[in-house]
Amino acid sequence: MAYETIIVETRSKVGLVTLNRPKALNALNSQVLADLLASCRAFEADADIGAIVITGSEKAFAAGADIKEMQSKSYVDAYMEDFFSGWEDFTRIRKPIIAAVSGYALGGGCELAMMCDFIIASDNAKFGQPEITLGVMPGMGGSQRLTRFVGKAKAMDMCLTGRMMDAAEAERTGLVSRVVATSDLLEEALKAAAKIAGFSLPAVMMAKEAVNRAYETTLSEGLRFERRLFHSMFALEDQKEGMAAFTEKRQANFKNR
């Protein structure tokens, strides 16, 4: 399939999506959303793919939603099309997704990174929710997800002042899982994705579902949900294989069954 705004590749069991609107610093317009969804859905349907990496350029992961596309919208336009609700579909991708972030991840760019399962950042990464400087506020989940990642004080600071957070602060506050040298970013993200893709896909997908449930429910319900999923894993051939491989001191050969 031909995509207008992204480059799609496969690297041994990993699907790689590179945002590719360099002149607009990868600003996220409706075509980017359509391309991103189509590519991730294709990876979801591809039994050979076990994880997905989304990245941008060295200068910008994405500098936000496309301001030029949205600036002339009216309230009725925004309300009737339920503007930005399409991004919720991206969060329904069940295979794991790593955001490999270099440069600016601002507004919708920061929000897209937070919709991924975890973020690996390069040491030049800058995160921010600068919508307030445009006379608006986050609209793709920033006020909710950023608050869950970094807590109320930092989220308020970022949403109300529009200031950017550098990679070190993002790692300290839990927004990103690791920071690597800019030159190593893609290699590190692909390595992490390949590691995940080497495990049992149903086990990986259930682990993703369980961690995500922690954001949506009480501790007791979450613990029950985790236990039930864990019980169901004893129906997997991969559980038998994984545990046999451990006791036989050999590498497991998972079949995703």
- Residues serving a catalytic function are 65, 108, 111, 131
Q: Is 204 in the site for ligand LXKY6Z5U (CB under 6 A)?
A: no
Q: Is 146 in the site for ligand LXKY6Z5U (CB under 6 A)?
A: no
Q: Is 63 in the site for ligand LXKY6Z5U (CB under 6 A)?
A: yes
Give dist(CA 209, CA 95) in Å, integer.
10
CB 62 within 8 A of CB 105: yes
Q: Is 142 in the site for ligand LXKY6Z5U (CB under 6 A)?
A: yes
Side-by-side strand order, sheet with 104-106: 60-62, 104-106, 126-128, 164-166
First to last CA, the chain: 29
Tokens 């030159």 found at: 183
Q: How many residues make contact with ligand LXKY6Z5U (CB under 6 A)?
A: 21
Residue 211 DSSP one-character state: H
Give dist(CA 10, CA 22) in Å, integer.
21
Tokens 């391309």 found at: 35
Q: Is 19 in the site for ligand LXKY6Z5U (CB under 6 A)?
A: no
In the stretch 89-108, what mask flags binding to ligand LXKY6Z5U with x, by CB under 6 A?
Answer: ---------------x-xxx
Of 56 and 108, the one with the shorter C-beta distance to ligand LXKY6Z5U is: 108
Strand partners, 127: 105, 165
User: Which of 14, 17, 19, 24 lies at the binding interface for ligand LXKY6Z5U (CB under 6 A)?
Assistant: 24
CB of 213 to ligand LXKY6Z5U, least distance (A): 25
SS3 95: coil
Of the candidate spans 1-9, 23-31, 47-55, 201-209, the one that interacts with ligand LXKY6Z5U by CB under 6 A turns out to be 23-31
Q: Is 50 in the site for ligand LXKY6Z5U (CB under 6 A)?
A: no
Of the candidate spans 57-65, 149-157, 176-184, 241-249, the one that interacts with ligand LXKY6Z5U by CB under 6 A turns out to be 57-65
What residues contact 108, with CB distance under 8 A and at least 6 apart? 27, 28, 62, 64, 65, 87, 139, 140
Q: At what angle do helices 201-213 and 237-247 cross, to 10 degrees?
A: 100
Q: Is 132 in the site for ligand LXKY6Z5U (CB under 6 A)?
A: no
Q: Interface residues with ligand LXKY6Z5U (CB under 6 A)?
A: 24-25, 27, 63-68, 104, 106-108, 111, 130-131, 134, 138-140, 142
